[in-house]
Amino acid sequence: MTHGRNDRSVNGRIGRALGLLAAASLTLGIAQQATAQSSTERVSVDEWSRLVWMNAEAGKSEVVFKLLEALPRNHASTAVTSLRDAVDLRERHIQDREATRVTRMEELRAELAERLDKKEYDKALNSAVELQDLSGDKQAFLRDPQIMDLVARAEDAARRAEASNEWLRAQSLYFRLSLLFENTKRYDVELKRLSQRLTYLRLYAPKTLHEMRDAERVRDGKDKLPPFNAIGEDWKERLKGIDRGMVLRAMMRADQANVDGVGLGEMIIGGLRAVENLATTGALTQTFPSLADMKARESFLSQLSAEARRYDNRANAGQFELRRAISTLLQANSTTVNLPEEAILQAFGDGAMLALDEFSSIIWPFDMNQFMRSTQGSFQGVGIQIQLDEAGNLKVVTPIEGTPAQRAGIKRGDIIRRIDKDSTLGVTLLQAVDRITGPAGTKVTLGVEREGVEDMIEVTLTRAQIPIYTVKGWERNGPSETDWNWFIDDQSGVGYIRLTQFTENTSRDFDNAIRAMQARGLKGLILDMRFNPGGLLSQAVAIANRFVDDGVIVSQHDARGFQTDRQVARRGLATLNRIPVAVLVNEGSASASEIVAGVLQDYAKSGRISAILVGATTYGKGSVQNVYDLADGVAALKLTTQYYKLPGGRLIHRRPGADGWGVAPDIEVKMLPKQVGNALELRQDADIVEFDGRGKPVLSDNRPDPKRLLSEGIDPQLETALLLLKSRILGQTEAQALLDAPIAPRGG
């Protein structure tokens, strides 16, 4: 990648800016007009603007904010004065945040001490995790004697909870402990084992799991859950279609192509250990009475252990050994506990995948529809967003415009009490989604309770193909999911796009939004990819191509580091390569969103485009998952086969034990946990607007205003991104005004 700027010139300009700041007096004019008599050097607005942006791209936060502080408060230009006011407002918000942080740390230390005294270790760990986030130095925090004492006590409590079959409590403790020791495998074995046990309960004994959750809530002082509802809870349906050939093909493919070179021997051991966990999960005896036969169970476990010992230090086992292991496993099962063969195979297959990375898995027949829905630009259903409220009611968040639910009159706030005559009391969200969605053309009947209506409303809906919209703007201005005000700041011409994930329609909808903004004079763009979990690589490449006109976007490399593939930009598609862009990222930005952010950062540093990253370091998922068919579309293997590298050669994947991962922002802006929660809630609520039959918004005093994210300092990352973009646009505007000014004729 070539550099488009003269580094010596850039460094000289940065040095000059620092020198001006050191003189403590920087005056902005429309042109550079320093005089020998002036004690203050004058610099053009455009040059100042360039210095702010260049330092932001270089990650020099301190210089950036000193330059912003240098703006005069009483300038002839109202645009300069307005920007100065925004700088002052941000500074007040930062001071408020710091005061809140200090106060919160004091509260947390008091909470931590109190909860330790009461031996409430899970709550104490909650306090410790938040305190660690606020402390700055995470490693030093772990050396604090109080924290070391908490860790020792919590580990002991977790071991005792698991021994007593309190698996939810044990998992909760180990999970919170793992948050303190980020990116280590310190509690990996325990968490995998407990996750397996809880998965088995969810599948084979959901009522027992419901009772465990209820007991945990009561212990924590919360309201009891509604009674258990068995709607859709048929484990036999979930196992249909599973056979040994499916598992064999999955493991052989994984052996050939997994990126970390994990061998079949390790996968076989992982599978056998998972089956052992299945057989020793005592709460399953109601579903599988044979597990209560101690003699049969011990014989089964003994044969599992003997088979596992065959593969100690034998990661290079082959197909013969795998076939033998599966046959031995099924034979041992049939002569002892005699569980359904499909249950044994599913446990064995899932356990084998746990020997690989966290993103590899077998997609079983029952889960295929949901998996396909997660990557496609549409799904089949009735078109409602639902959630469980605090009371456990199945509540409509909003109907999607133009869908069967919206046309039938389903409204925001409706409570769904019945699905096809079955009560929804006590259902999980997954149960409800499974029952409401289904093939297009089929029908589902919902019994709806609405505030102010005495009788239950019964609505029969015909399911249809429902589009998924992943491109969102600043503020809803119409009933359609594509009706947005795309400008966060009309006066400055700053557009705003949120990408929530990457599906097959993302680039199409993105292009439509950009065209709408360009028609109104787009001068700069905020691209918000916070909490974007990723999606289709092809769509990430397409979005990056809108900024980059030529060159490598991303390349794939195998475990040995050899390049196996790469994607390059296609010329003529870079519709945004001439405007400044601020990209928002955080810890929830993963995979495809990290690729787009990293590509823009790399090309900005080479001078090819004008882009800065604002926020926090991304999650660190830089791996490629390929999907392999296992049974004519009935089941599939999702397998990590390669790692991504960005154009500059960075590997962003979070590997256990690594010191760094992800894409680090150019300008880091920290948010308090409370700010993150408040910002997400406000943003979500502001996106939901009710419109009448004429497409006009239904006025409500409670309608959230997204502008509060900025005016109240709720979202300092967004506030900073907007401030930096406005500073760059101001310089460009002033420079253009100077160029457009008429030239006065010379006298003579």
In angstroms, the CA 674 to CA 610 distance is 32
Q: How far is CA 265 from the centre of its chain?
A: 33
Q: Are strands 552-557 and 636-645 parallel, antiparallel or unpaired?
A: antiparallel
In angstroms, the CA 483 to CA 269 distance is 53
- DSSP 3-state assignment of 568? strand
Q: Count CB atoms within 10 A of the CB of residue 366.
A: 18
DSSP string for 226-250: PPP--TT--HHHHHTT--HHHHHHH
Burial of 35 (0-12, 13-18, 19+ CB in 10 A): exposed
Q: Note whether 249 and 322 are within 8 A (CB).
A: no
State which amino acid sits at residue 614.
V
- DSSP 3-state assignment of 747? coil
| Paired residues of 496 in beta bridges | 526
Q: Are strands 552-557 and 563-568 parallel, antiparallel or unpaired?
A: antiparallel
Q: 127, 172, 360, 591: which one is catalytic?
A: 591
Q: Is 692 among the residues known to form the active site?
A: no
Q: Is 138 among the residues known to form the active site?
A: no
Q: 621, 645, 666, 715: which one is catalytic?
A: 621
What are the residue ranges of helices labelled H in 408-550?
429-436, 506-518, 537-545
Q: How far is CA 737 from the centre of its chain?
A: 42
What are the residue ranges of helices labelled H in 118-164?
121-135, 138-142, 145-163
Selection from 618, 626, 668 nearest residue 646 by Cα:
618
In angstroms, the CA 604 to CA 122 distance is 44
- DSSP 3-state assignment of 741? coil
Q: Is 591 among the residues known to form the active site?
A: yes
In angstroms, the CA 697 to CA 690 distance is 6
Q: 255, 414, 602, 687: which one is catalytic?
A: 602
Could you list the active site residues?
A: 591, 602, 621
